[in-house]
Amino acid sequence: MVKKRVTITDIALEMGITPSTVSRALAGNQRVRVDTRERVLNVAAKMGYQPNVLASSLRSGRSDTIGMVVPRINRHFFSHVISGVEAVLNPAGYNLLISQTHERQEHEIKAFSTLLRNRVAGIIVSHSVETQTFEHFRQIIDEEISLVQFDRVTEQVPGPRIVNDNFLGALRSTQHLIKNGCRRIAHFAGALHVNVYEQRLDGYRYALEQAGIDVDPALIVENCIVQEAGMEAVENVIVPQQVDGIFAASDLSALGAIRTLKELNIAIPEKVKISGFANEPFAEMIDPTLTSVEQNAFEMGNQAARSMIESLGKEDPVSEEIHIPVRLIQRRSSVLNNSI
Amino acid sequence: MVKKRVTITDIALEMGITPSTVSRALAGNQRVRVDTRERVLNVAAKMGYQPNVLASSLRSGRSDTIGMVVPRINRHFFSHVISGVEAVLNPAGYNLLISQTHERQEHEIKAFSTLLRNRVAGIIVSHSVETQTFEHFRQIIDEEISLVQFDRVTEQVPGPRIVNDNFLGALRSTQHLIKNGCRRIAHFAGALHVNVYEQRLDGYRYALEQAGIDVDPALIVENCIVQEAGMEAVENVIVPQQVDGIFAASDLSALGAIRTLKELNIAIPEKVKISGFANEPFAEMIDPTLTSVEQNAFEMGNQAARSMIESLGKEDPVSEEIHIPVRLIQRRSSVLNNSI
DNA sequence: CTGTTAGCGCGTTCAA
DNA sequence: TTGAACGCGCTAACAG
């Protein structure tokens, strides 16, 4: 026996009133007697009524579902951003529909399509690494769906952008290496068409220039953000170029460098000082512990959600850029004495 | 200017046919001329038509949204399960609506309510640690919504249960410690009303009994799954009880133990051998590297999703229990010589 | 304060 | 093969 789902009509029939009144009572509308509202609420609870948000959204044209599109759900950074978004959106009465792109633009396009079909009120997105064109944002913009970008963002699309202070993090990190005596500092960079990696490179460059150190292109390793790339870079660049410091745009490539350097018996931090980016959990667990730039993913999620809620109340998108502060965490991979 | 959303009526008007025909054409219905179907598809694409799944679901009574309820999105294990679920459900045309309970039963109840209101076709859930009663599953069962449990499950609720082979993992892990010479083996347990921790305790017990070692209740530390608890347990149990082996139900408490033992200059693995559970990423990064039981979270997600799709096609739920194999990964925290 | 009427967008009868 | 009519559950406009 299938228990049919309870509708407002069922409640109305049960009480001898009309569905309209039930609807108003449930919605907390003022134009309904207090005692009838309470009776409706009672009967609804007793009958196990669950409002059908599909019908409600269809009729009202409003939706309380927010779409979220990320490269990968199971990456430490993104899972924490998602958690931060959820922490703000859920208490505010919104639900999250999540898609991952696996770093493929094609999947990003599909994800948008799915979210549009589901009539989400807004979309919170961090681009796939492949994404360099933005025509697929057209429909989102045309339909005036609120759009918030975070971390991997572009100015070519309107709406708030929540980003880490990548430039400052890179600047502080490189300055820290310089202060500790490094002169030939390599940079493990990412894909430079992605804003975050471009800005980290800029911060690195600026720090060197300020210190009167020439920027040597031979010391900049592109697309070096995974562990294996860090390992290879040690053999191809760090050793032959007699590098004494590494600012890595990723903790993983920093880890790769540490492992290979240890194998080669090159002392860290005595011979080479290293700092990474992201402060992954393993940074404080490896030997030596890894200096890194902490980015507050949870807070970034909170802010993205707050910006989304704000956008939902406005007519036109505000294309502001909001910076989440970063913090350099000094550990043994870059500091000689035992002061830390 | 708001571009109004395109509906099948718009397409019909544009083509001088009726919405019915458009609907049939888009649904791939046979009872429509091949060339009109193709014309409809063309016009739909040209007009940027996105089907309204809310209206579609409302009308058809079917939904392609699956709800997922987990304790925390941003935990390594759960984020990988989610990813595994997504990897199967997405290509099959389903969307995921995700809620986290933060280990609170109250939030679990709210999450269910939200999913029911959104008329999900099924729910994939792992209980909060607080969950010990199951009345809040009533409505899900009554409305015949497909239900799949994973990891933290109960037989008190119908439907497939996808679980790790916790018993076997614990058995192999404890046997491994015994084989390597341990006699007084402590167990860092979790909350014992949760199936996974109960089974890990059982496996530990069974291994001891098989080896003719008495189970000493003083060596079983309950609710010891976070780092701090592992640290305290070293001082309260490991040292005073002269323990020579620890089987921890969690990598985190194992990590805590390692840290405190190192501070106390108690040699690992010479004096105390340790194995954990979950094979968190840090297990191979700490010093000494941590022996642990690998649980394939991604595969567990795949299986949960497959079971869900299967359930959706059936009338009555099948209450089978599906085991995901685990694997003991031996590392330096438990092995003396350099053979690994 | 409550009832009546209409329609959101779609899918599914029943006719033609 | 197509069209006309209806209704999924709900909200909103208009009466009263």
DSSP 8-state symbol, A266: -
Q: What CATH number is given to the structural domain containing B46?
A: 1.10.260
Contact partners, residue A2, CB within 8 Å, separation at least 6:
B143, B144
Same domain as A187, residue A97? no
pLDDT at A1: 42
Same domain as A221, residue A123? no
Residue range A88-105, pLDDT digits in tens: 999 999 999 999 999 999
Same domain as A230, residue A173? yes
DSSP 8-state symbol, A135: G
Same domain as A214, residue A187? yes
Our measurement of CA B33 to C1' C16, in angstroms, reads 17
Residue range A204-248, pLDDT digits in tens: 999 999 999 999 999 999 999 999 999 999 999 999 999 999 999
Within-domain flag for B2? no
Its pTM stands at 0.95
pLDDT at A4: 75
Residue range A243-258, pLDDT digits in tens: 999 999 999 999 999 9
Contact A57, A63 (CB under 8 A): yes
Counting every residue written for chain A, the total comes to 340
User: For residue B339, what pLDDT band results from cuts at 50, 70 and 90?
Assistant: low
Q: What CATH number is given to the structural domain containing B280?
A: 3.40.50.2300
Residue B44 has pLDDT above 60, yes or no: yes
What 3-state class would DSSP assign to A80? helix
Residue A176 has pLDDT above 60, yes or no: yes
What's the rounded Cα separation, in Å, for the pair B100 and B310?
24
Handedness of CA A80, A82, A86, A88 (dihedral sign): positive
Say whether the CB atom of A11 is under 7 angstroms from strand C. Answer: no
pLDDT at B1: 42
Residues 22-61 of B with CB under 7 A from strand C: 23-24, 26-27, 51-52, 55-56, 58-60
DSSP 8-state symbol, A5: P
Within-domain flag for A245? yes
pLDDT at A339: 61
Q: How many domains, in total, are found in chain B? A: 3
DSSP A273-293: EEE-SB--GGGGTSSSPPBEE
Within-domain flag for A32? yes
What 3-state class would DSSP assign to B5? coil
Same domain as B187, residue B280? yes
What's the rounded Cα separation, in Å, for the pair B54 and B58?
6
Contact A201, A209 (CB under 8 A): no
Residue B53 has pLDDT above 90, yes or no: yes
Percent of chain A with pLDDT over 70: 98
Q: Strands across the sheet with B291-295, in order?
A: B220-221, B185-188, B245-248, B273-278, B291-295, B326-329
Q: Check whether the bond before B288 is cis (ω within 30° of 0).
A: yes
Within-domain flag for B1? no
Average pLDDT taken over every residue of chain B: 96
pLDDT at B340: 58
What's the rounded Cα separation, in Å, for the pair B256 and B173?
18
* Residues lining strand D, beta carbon within 7 angstroms: A 5, 7-9, 19-20, 23, 26-27, 51-52, 55-56, 58-60; B 16-21, 24, 30-34, 36, 55, 58-59, 61
Contact A164, A295 (CB under 8 A): yes
3-state secondary structure B279-303: CCHHHHCCCCCCEEEEECHHHHHHH
Residues 21-50 of A with CB under 7 A from strand C: 21, 24, 30-34, 36
Supply A194's token pair.
């992605």
pLDDT at A315: 85
Same domain as A157, residue A128? yes
Handedness of CA A250, A256, A259, A260 (dihedral sign): negative
Same domain as A173, residue A96? no
Q: Chain B partners of A72 at a C-beta cutoff of 8 Å?
A: 83
pLDDT at B48: 94
Same domain as B229, residue B160? no
Average pLDDT taken over every residue of chain A: 95
Same domain as B212, residue B284? yes
Within-domain flag for B73? yes
Residue range A132-144, pLDDT digits in tens: 999 999 999 999 9
Contact across the interface for B58 and A53, Cβ inside 8 Å: no
Contact partners, residue B225, CB within 8 Å, separation at least 6:
B188, B190, B197, B249, B250, B252, B253
Our measurement of CA A21 to C1' D15, in angstroms, reads 15
Within-domain flag for A87? yes
Same domain as B245, residue B315? no
Please tell me the distance in Å from A114's CA to the nearest CA on chain B: 8
Residue range B172-205, pLDDT digits in tens: 999 999 999 999 999 999 999 999 999 999 999 9
Nearest CA in chain B to A118: B53
Using alpha carbons, select from A254, A238, A178 the residue that is nearest to residue A209. A178
Same domain as A270, residue A127? no
What 3-state class would DSSP assign to B198? helix
Residue B249 has pLDDT above 90, yes or no: yes
* Residue owning tokens 């990968």: A72
Same domain as B313, residue B263? no
pLDDT at A235: 97
Using alpha carbons, select from B214, B189, B155 the residue that is nearest to residue B276. B189
Residue A233 belongs to what domain range?
A: 166-295+328-339
